[in-house]
Chains A and B, each alone.
Chain A
Amino acid sequence: MAFNPAPRQLAAIKAIVFTLALLPFARLVWGGFAGQLGANPLEFITWSTGDWTLYFLCITLAITPLRRLSSWNWLVRLRRMLGLFAFFYASLHFTAFFWFDHFFDVPEMLKDVAKRPFILVGFTAFVLLIPLAVTSTNGMVKWIGAKRWQWLHRLIYVIAPLGILHFWWMRAGKHNFEQPLIFGSIVAVLLLLRVMWALKKRRKERGLLHAA
Chain B
Amino acid sequence: MLIKRPPNGIDIPFPSEITPRAIFESRRDFIRKLAVGSIAGGSLLEMATRNAFAESGSGLQKLGGKPNPNYVVPDKPTSYSDATTYNNYYEFGTDKSMPARYAPAMKTRPWTVAIEGEVKKPMTLDIDMLTKLAPVEERIYRLRCVEGWSMVIPWEGYSFSELMKKVEPTSNAKFVEFVTVEDKDAMIGLRRPVLDWPYVEGLRIDEAAHPLTLLTLGMYGQVLPNQNGAPVRIVVPWKYGFKSAKSIVKIRFVREQPRTAWNVAAPNEYGFYSNVNPQVDHPRWSQASERRIGEDGFFSKKRPTLMFNGYSQVASLYSGMDLKKHY
| Contacts from A to B (Cβ < 8 Å) | 38-43, 99-101, 103, 112, 115-116, 118-119, 169-170, 173-176, 178
Contact = CB atoms under 8 A, between A and B. Distances in A.
Contacts, number: 53
Contact of B284 (A39, A42, A101, A116): A116
Contacts of A174: 94, 194
B302 A40 contact: no
B195 interface: yes
A133 B82 CA distance: 39
A112 B193 CA distance: 31
A163 B71 CA distance: 46
A38 B100 CA distance: 12
Interface string B283-294: 111100001011
B14 interface: no
B114 to A, nearest CB: 28
B86 A38 contact: yes
A100 B94 CA distance: 23
A38 B284 contact: no
B85 interface: yes
Contacts of A43: 149, 291
22 contacts: A38-B86, A38-B97, A39-B82, A39-B86, A40-B86, A40-B96, A40-B291, A101-B302, A103-B302, A112-B285, A116-B283, A118-B284, A119-B284, A169-B284, A173-B269, A173-B282, A173-B283, A173-B284, A174-B94, A175-B195, A175-B265, A175-B266
Given A41-B297, A101-B302, A116 B291 contact: no
A177 to B, nearest CB: 9
Contacts of A170: 284
B132 interface: no
Where chain B touches its partner, the secondary structure class is: loop
A28 B269 CA distance: 32
B293 A173 contact: no
Interface of B: 81-82, 85-86, 94, 96-97, 149, 192-195, 265-266, 269, 281-286, 291, 293-294, 297-298, 301-302
Nearest to B85: A39
A118 B285 CA distance: 9
Contact of B294 (A39, A103, A118, A178): A39
A22 to B, nearest CB: 21
A42 B269 contact: no
Contacts of A176: 94, 194
A169 B266 CA distance: 13
Given A38-B86, A174-B194, A116 B94 contact: no
A107 B41 CA distance: 67
B297 A42 contact: yes
B143 to A, nearest CB: 13
Nearest to B79: A39
A38 B84 CA distance: 11
Contacts of A100: 291, 298
A151 to B, nearest CB: 34
A180 to B, nearest CB: 12
Contacts of B294: 39
A45 B86 CA distance: 15
A41 B149 CA distance: 12
A42 B291 contact: yes
A170 B282 CA distance: 12
Given A40-B293, A41-B297, 16 more contacts: A38-B85, A38-B96, A39-B81, A39-B82, A39-B293, A39-B294, A42-B291, A42-B297, A42-B298, A43-B291, A118-B284, A173-B269, A173-B282, A173-B284, A174-B94, A178-B192
Contacts of A38: 85-86, 96-97
B190 to A, nearest CB: 14
B194 A175 contact: yes
B83 to A, nearest CB: 8
B94 A40 contact: no
A169 B283 CA distance: 11
A101 B287 CA distance: 12
A173 B192 CA distance: 15
A116 B282 CA distance: 10
A46 to B, nearest CB: 11
Contacts of B192: 178
Nearest to B289: A101
B85 to A, nearest CB: 6
